[in-house]
């Protein structure tokens, strides 16, 4: 996707602990009236994008990621299950006032021009990362498809783990703000190592 294809304004979904990366997929359960309105409006646009960004107090973090609605289904009681496929990270330029019940913002796409193509991580020690993950998942009694993980490409592996591991929201934001894939992998390994050393005391799901 070219920069000219990206919208000037974006509906914003501020959700703590939820991050998205380009080419990754994020399933979401939409049920609040304001976000049902957001979904309906987004589906009417050509780009069908929603900006995922974490809240920061009453405001928003500086960096989020836009995702295109690539699947959706309605439940019998009027809720929606949707999937966002990541398109590009953005820097929050400003929020846009309006009459919609949800928040909207003007994204700065120029901050992440290299994200139109998949990233690799030549310096990754996959065996070391998998060893760290094995200890982390065992400690937290989490299941994982090891065969799929071992065969996954660098970008898919690192970004999927960054999205799925139960880190605190600020730790998730650090992963999102890492400038490139090798830097994100280093942050990921640091967070995993710290969590293992702490013995799960800081586990956010407990």
Give me the residues paired with residue 51 across strands: 12, 66
Within a domain: 121? no
**Are 97 and 164 in a shared domain?**
no
Domain residues for the domain of 29 are 3-112
Clarify whether residues 47 and 142 are in a common domain.
Answer: no
Note the pLDDT tens digit of each residue in 174-184: 999 999 999 99
DSSP state of 91: E
Of the pLDDT bands very low, low, confident and very high (cuts 50, 70, 90), residue 203 is very low
Minimum mean pLDDT range among 38-47, 134-143, 169-178, 192-201: 192-201
Confidence tier at 2 by pLDDT (50, 70, 90): low
pLDDT recorded at residue 142: 80
Task: List the one residue out of 61, 36, 62 whose CA is nearest residue 50.
Answer: 36
Domain of 58, CATH number, reads 2.30.130.40
The encoded tokens of residue 15 equal 């959700």
86-128 pLDDT, tens per residue? 999 999 999 999 899 999 999 999 988 767 788 899 999 999 9
């Amino acid at each position: 996707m070219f920069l000219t294809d990206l919208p000037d304004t974006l509906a914003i979904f501020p959700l703590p602990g939820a991050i998205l990366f380009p080419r990754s997929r994020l399933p979401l359960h939409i049920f609040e009236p304001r976000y049902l309105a957001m979904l309906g409006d987004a589906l009417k646009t050509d780009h069908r994008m929603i900006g995922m960004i974490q809240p920061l107090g009453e405001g928003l973090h500086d960096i989020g990621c836009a995702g295109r609605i690539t699947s959706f289904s309605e439940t019998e009681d009027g809720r929606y299950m949707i999937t966002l496929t990541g398109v590009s990270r953005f820097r929050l330029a400003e929020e846009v006032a309006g009459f919609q019940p949800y928040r909207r913002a003007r994204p700065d796409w120029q901050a992440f021009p290299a994200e139109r193509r998949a990233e690799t991580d030549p310096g990754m020690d996959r065996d070391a990362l998998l060893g760290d993950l094995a200890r982390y998942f065992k400690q937290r009694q989490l299941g994982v498809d090891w065969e799929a993980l071992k065969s996954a490409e660098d970008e898919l592996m690192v970004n999927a783990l960054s999205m799925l591991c139960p880190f605190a929201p600020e730790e998730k934001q650090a992963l999102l703000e890492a400038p490139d894939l090798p830097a994100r992998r280093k942050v990921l390994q640091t967070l995993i190592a710290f969590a293992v050393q702490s013995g799960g005391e800081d586990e956010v799901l407990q």
